[in-house]
């Protein structure tokens, strides 16, 4: 159901009916996110936050902007869940800072050379040994900022900061952001691209990916971290 018909249907429902109809959508999004987040994040907390997002979506929905309610609600539900995770992010500031420094170093090197930044080059740019650099990558993997979901969430933040409050325009811009993110993933070095594909598309864990690549779990962790930081560097115009 779309357009005016969907708007009328949602407005005709009380909140109990909205919850009953769309609770499975909240659960599906929560289960999807849970598989990408640290074990400390509880599924029940995601679902609770998602239900709040659903009710907010029901209150704010405007069908004249061109999106059907399910699409609009899905965006708001996911955003509410990620807001909840952000509120409980206990990662030390030093880890966040190091992640930004590595990403910026990658950006500078790739701007200078016109190719993928190498491990040794990034380490040298930051005045670190290669061992220190790899250790920093492993530390940042534990940071909640390093996930495809967080990149998408920061893309949503870019929309808010740009003043695009119209839902139709927001949805269009979000699609363009997703296209840019897909292009950035496709441009990654082959091994990093493979790790991202196996982790996010095939939903393999780090140990399983290590078996595919013939390397240890810690090395997969480093490759994943480096891939995410490279993506942040290449999406900097969107992320701000």
- The domain that holds 164 is classified in CATH as 1.20.140.160
CA dist 78 and 106 (Å) reads 30
Model-level pTM?
0.60
Tens digit of each residue's pLDDT, the chain (240 residues): 444 444 444 444 467 788 888 999 999 988 887 766 767 778 899 999 999 999 988 888 877 776 788 888 888 898 888 888 777 766 677 877 888 899 999 999 999 999 999 999 999 999 999 999 998 888 776 544 445 556 555 554 433 433 334 455 555 566 777 788 888 899 999 999 999 888 877 778 888 999 999 999 889 888 988 998 999 898 887 765
124 and 219 assigned to the same domain: yes
Give 193-231 pLDDT, tens digit per residue.
999 888 877 778 888 999 999 999 889 888 988 998 999
130 and 214 assigned to the same domain: yes
What is the domain extent for residue 74?
A: 3-87
DSSP letter for each residue of 135-185: HHHHHHHTSTTSSHHHHHHHHHHHHHHTT---HHHHHHHHHHHHHHHHHHH
DSSP structure class, residue 63 = G
Cα dihedral 87/92/98/103 (nearest 10): -20
* CATH number of the domain that residue 25 is part of: 1.10.1740.10
Q: Two tokens at 12?
A: 């005709």
13 and 74 assigned to the same domain: yes
Through-space distance between the first and last CA atoms of the chain, rounded to whole angstroms:
36
Give 29-57 pLDDT, tens digit per residue.
888 877 667 677 788 999 999 999 999 88
134 and 40 assigned to the same domain: no
97 and 77 assigned to the same domain: no
Among the candidates 33, 54, 87, a domain finishes at 87
* Tokens 């390397």, residue located: 215
Q: Which of 54, 70, 66 is nearest to 9 (CA)?
A: 70
107 and 54 assigned to the same domain: no
DSSP structure class, residue 14 = -
CA dist 72 and 101 (Å) reads 35
Q: How many CB atoms lie within 10 A of CB 24?
A: 9
175 and 217 assigned to the same domain: yes
Q: How many independent structural domains does the chain possess?
A: 2
128 and 159 assigned to the same domain: yes
């Amino acid at each position: 159901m779309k357009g005016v018909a969907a708007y009328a249907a949602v407005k005709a429902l009380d909140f109990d009916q909205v919850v009953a109809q769309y609770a499975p959508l909240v659960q599906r999004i929560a289960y999807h996110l849970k598989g990408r987040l640290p074990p400390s994040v509880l599924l029940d907390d995601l679902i609770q936050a998602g239900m709040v997002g659903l009710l907010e979506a029901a209150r704010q929905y405007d069908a004249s902007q061109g999106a059907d309610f399910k699409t609009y609600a899905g965006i708001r539900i996911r955003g509410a869940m990620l807001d909840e995770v952000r509120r409980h992010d206990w990662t030390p500031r030093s880890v966040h800072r190091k992640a930004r420094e590595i990403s910026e170093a990658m950006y500078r090197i790739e701007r200078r050379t016109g190719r993928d930044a190498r491990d040794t080059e990034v380490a040298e740019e930051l005045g670190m040994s290669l061992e220190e650099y790899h250790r920093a990558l492993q530390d940042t993997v534990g940071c909640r900022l390093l996930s495809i979901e967080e990149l998408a969430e920061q893309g949503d933040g870019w929309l808010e900061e740009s003043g695009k409050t119209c839902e139709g325009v927001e949805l269009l811009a979000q699609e363009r952001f997703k296209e840019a993110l897909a292009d950035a993933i496709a441009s990654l070095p082959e091994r990093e691209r493979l790790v991202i594909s196996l982790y996010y598309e095939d939903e393999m864990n780090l140990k399983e990916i290590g078996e595919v690549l013939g390397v240890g779990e810690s090395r997969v962790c480093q490759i994943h971290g480096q891939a995410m930081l490279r993506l942040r560097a290449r999406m900097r115009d969107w992320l701000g």
